[in-house]
Amino acid sequence: MIAGSELILRPDGSVYHLHLLPGQVAEKIITVGDPERVHQVSRRFDRVELKVEAREFVTHTGELDGERITVLSTGIGTDNVDIVINELDALFNIDLRTREVKDELTSLDFLRLGTSGSFQSDLPLDSFLLSHAALALDGLLHYYLNQGEPDPLVIALTDHLDDEGVTLPVPPLVVRPHLPVFMNHPAAAELAAGITLTAAGFYAPQGRSLRLPSGMTPKILNALRTFSDEDLRITNIEMETSGIYGLTRLLGHRAASISALLANRALGTFSKQPAETVESLIDLGLRLLTDRQ
Ligand X SMILES: O=P(O)(O)O[C@H]1O[C@H](CO)[C@@H](O)[C@H]1O
153 or 282, CB closer to ligand X? 282
Q: Distance of alpha carbon 131 from its chain centroid, rounded? A: 9
- Contacted by 175, from ligand URA, ligand X, none: CB < 5 to 8 Å by type: none
Instruction: Work out how close the CB of 272 gets to ligand URA at its nearest, in angstroms, rounded to a whole number.
Output: 14
Binding residues vs ligand X (CB under 6 A):
32-34, 76, 114-115, 202, 238-240
Reduced to 3 states (helix: H, G, I; strand: E, B; else coil), residue 9 is strand
Which of the listed partners (ligand URA, ligand X, none) does 262 bind, with a CB threshold of 5 to 8 Å by partner kind?
Answer: ligand URA
| The entry of ligand URA, ligand X, none that residue 34 binds, CB within 5 to 8 Å by partner kind | ligand X
* Minimum CB distance to ligand URA smaller for 62 or for 77: 77
Q: How near is the Cβ of 4 to ligand URA at its closest, in Å?
A: 36
Torsion of CA 142, 143, 148, 151, to 10 degrees: -20
Q: Which residue number has the CB closest to ligand X?
A: 33
Eight-class DSSP state of 178: P
Strand locations in the chain (E): 28-32, 47-54, 57-64, 67-73, 94-95, 100-101, 109-118, 128-136, 173-175, 192-198, 228-229, 232-238, 254-264, 269-270
Q: Residue numbers of the site for ligand URA (CB under 6 A)?
A: 115-117, 202, 206, 237-239, 262-263
Indicate the residue type of 129.
L
Q: Rounded distance, CA 111 to CA 285, Å?
A: 8
> Nearer Cβ to ligand X, position 14 or 74?
74
20 vs 199, beta carbon nearer ligand X: 199
Taking the least distance from each CB to ligand URA, the nearer of 137 and 247 is: 137
Q: To the nearest 10°, the Cα dihedral for 38, 262, 133, 121?
A: 170
CB of 115 to ligand URA, least distance (A): 4
- Based on CB atoms, which residue is closest to ligand X, 69 or 239? 239
CB of 238 to ligand URA, least distance (A): 4
237 binds, among ligand X, ligand URA, none (CB under 5 to 8 A by kind): ligand URA
Least spacing, CB of residue 202 vs ligand URA, in Å: 6
What is the C-alpha to C-alpha distance for residues 270 and 125, in angstroms, rounded to an integer? 7
288: amino acid identity, one letter: L
Is residue 96 packed enough to be buried (19+ CB in 10 Å), middle (13-18) or exposed (0-12)?
middle
